[in-house]
A and B are shown apart, each in its own frame.
Chain A
Amino acid sequence: MSLVELRHVSKSYGEGAGAVHALRDVSVSFDAGALVAIMGPSGSGKSTLLTIAGSLEEPTSGEVLVDGVCVSEMSRDAKARLRRRSIGYVFQDYNLLPGLTAVENVALPLELDGVPRKRARSAAMEALEALGVSGRAACFPDELSGGERQRVSIARAVVGDRRVLLTDEPTGALDSANGEAVMGLIRGACRRGVAGVMVTHDRQLASWADDVVLLRDGRIVGPTPPDAPPAPERAR
């Protein structure tokens, strides 16, 4: 079942001769339980596709459907609600909120959605526990290692039954051991029914995905990279 669907999406920045076409007539869908890697050279439109899929940006043309509902027809508040309830993001540089502890960072999306603090905290603790960082729940972001930050970031992205997980170079700032651990967690989330989308340059990382979408100059040029290496067995 497609949780996120992009239909003939184009995105341009600027106007006239100086316009930059980041995406050109892209149609793609992301299903529940599957992890899709988006690959391509710099400037190919990978991150733009991710942000449009996550309702962070409006397409210039085309439409985006999340759970069958057209996002472009939604109000700003409705989009915010959609992001609170359905879409989680994991960024390369973690983007944890300063001033909030790990558990508070994870609980914040729930609290923003009106969940009472106690219940939000308890759900956040569950998420942290599942990711193996519950022992660091009271730490502030600057007291955590890179791997721990990214786990907290993933916990924040999946907490509260979110069904779409969008990740942008999730292991870019991590060493290989931590990177593999994080990929395992993302993969695990997808096995539980989450639709995962991962932007990456790394072919090795792409091998964790069920499908790979190749982008070049804003266009999808192939469903899978021709020379994709086999994914590690333990991760499957």
Chain B
Amino acid sequence: MLQTIALSVALSAGTMWNLDASKSTVSYHLVHKLHQFTGTDHGHLDGKALMKPDGTVQAQVVGHVKDFDSENSNRDEHMMETVEAARFPNVSAKALVHFDPGQASGTQKADAKVEMNLHGKNETKTVPVTLTYEGANRVHVTSDFDASVEGFGIQRPQLLFVPINDAMGIKLDLWFDRAQ
């Protein structure tokens, strides 16, 4: 009885989608005068999305700072120091976006309101998001936008006493499966 009630409440609230951590990636791209590099989180993300009947989607993705790999262990270590990973071990993003609820296939583009939390600070931006249905129970979400390193209260790291650029490119490549 209780299960039935819970299920009906859940259905009326919307459809839950779980992040496929094995395929999803989040990466940052930073530029220094001498070189540029990309740090990516492969397979360690956690996330969910709730699609409401009116097409409003609430999504949240959480990753650990230590899981980002820039193919240079010292740089990753330095990055963890810079973002104070001991105090703020997580990086997370919440997104709110409206898609056409009637279209359950193909590709949709929309502007999402994204609230990113890094280094204990929140930054809210409106970013373009592309959603592609890969079948009835699987969606692929991508987004590419810039954020400010100092906007998160992070002191820009330096190499040979030259700091990196403030603009940080962020790329989301997320796969969600409809919860059973």
A and B together in one complex: no
B-side residues, CB < 8 A to A, are none
A-side residues, CB < 8 A to B, are none
